[in-house]
Amino acid sequence: MWQLSSIPVVSRLAPTPSGFLHLGNAVNFTLTWLLTRQAGGTLHLRIDDLDRARFRPAYLENIFRTLEWLGLDYDYGPTGPADFERNFSQQHRLPEYEATLQAARLAHPRVFYACGCSRTELARQGVLAGSCPGTCRHAALTLSAPKAAWRAHVPSGSIVTIQDMAQGLVQIDLTAELGNFVVRKKDGVAAYQVASVLDDVRLGVTCVVRGLDLLPSTAAQLWLASQLPGQEGFRQVQFYHHALFTTSSGEKLSKSTQASSQRGIVEEADSPQVVYEAVAHLLGLPEQAATSLSVLRERIAQRHNGDTWASSV
């Protein structure tokens, strides 16, 4: 159980400008904001634009517009698209990610290996695309080979234990979930899991709020933190994995329903109240708690007076 007052809470909103933000994103941001503000913590806006192929300026603008629409403020981060591009883009930190990967390769030569598998090759071998069976590891290709991705070798039976604020003790079989996952893509750019760990450590993040669907990612990042020099601090991060939001009738919205949000929640909803209602529902609060963000915050404070978030869900 996590007492809100026991550690300084530093958290972040981490949207990706690769699509318009949907209800699920808005629910996650609102939950993160409520938890951080209730704890008197510090909130960063940390935009993940590692994947520039799917980046569009309209998506970047939509992030700022959605936060304003939701009424969510933050303490550190870009003030707008131009400030983001100039001072906060992950593209500025590619050399830092690369230096850490090179140091990791030297520190753990048996963990990282070059993988030359193509999608077609993996399909031919009858394994899931994205997972290398380890044959490349035995082939011992050089890591400086062009067009080779780097993978981390996850030994069989690697179980990662997560003490989650919402879910309690969770055990993830990393070998089965992600296998030998990619840490550096074929184009030489660090993979999401690496950049995410480095950014969280750099910002001093102590608390991460994310959906249950990201549990395997959390496991991969916790495991990776021990393999990446200087990133051990990530293992102290506390996690709050929330259920994927449900409709008022308790019905789970499918991935396709969420993904159908072509124009984004700001364009599709009449008001942010639909988001506050979804948050209240997730936290088991009555609908009257969701008339506005301030009412929601107040109801949570009343309920959690001296209590923990963990006991509410």
What single DSSP character describes residue 301? H
What single DSSP character describes residue 88? I
Complex with Zn ion: residue 145 or 259, whichever CB lies closer:
145
Q: How far apart are CA 25 and CA 242, in angstroms?
A: 12
From start to end of the chain, where are the E strands? 10-13, 42-45, 112-115, 149-152, 159-164, 168-173, 182-184, 207-211, 238-242
Complex with Zn ion: residue 17 or 179, whichever CB lies closer:
179
Complex with Zn ion: residue 10 or 132, whichever CB lies closer:
132
152 interacts with Zn ion by CB under 5 A? no
182 interacts with Zn ion by CB under 5 A? no
Q: Which amino acid is at 236?
A: Q
Of 21, 117, 166, 174, which one interacts with Zn ion (CB under 5 A)?
A: 117
115 interacts with Zn ion by CB under 5 A? yes
114 interacts with Zn ion by CB under 5 A? no
Complex with Zn ion: residue 141 or 301, whichever CB lies closer:
141
The stretch among 18-26, 129-137, 188-196, 208-216 that binds Zn ion (CB under 5 A) is: 129-137
Complex with Zn ion: residue 58 or 141, whichever CB lies closer:
141
Burial class of residue 114, CB neighbours in 10 A (0-12, 13-18, 19+): buried
Q: How far apart are CA 258 and CA 251, in angstroms?
A: 13
Complex with Zn ion: residue 136 or 208, whichever CB lies closer:
136
Q: How far is the CB of 218 from Zn ion (least distance, A)?
A: 25
* Length reported for the chain: 313
**Total residues interacting with Zn ion, rule: CB under 5 A:** 4
Tally Cβ neighbours within 10 Å of residue 310.
16
Of 132, 182, 195, 222, which one interacts with Zn ion (CB under 5 A)?
A: 132
In Å, the largest CA–CA distance within the chain is: 62
Q: How far is the CB of 102 from Zn ion (least distance, A)?
A: 20
The stretch among 134-142, 215-223, 249-257, 293-301 that binds Zn ion (CB under 5 A) is: 134-142
136 interacts with Zn ion by CB under 5 A? yes
| C-alpha distances out from residue 24 to 6, 197, 258, 261, 309, Å | 29, 22, 7, 10, 20
- Which positions touch Zn ion (CB under 5 A)? 115, 117, 132, 136
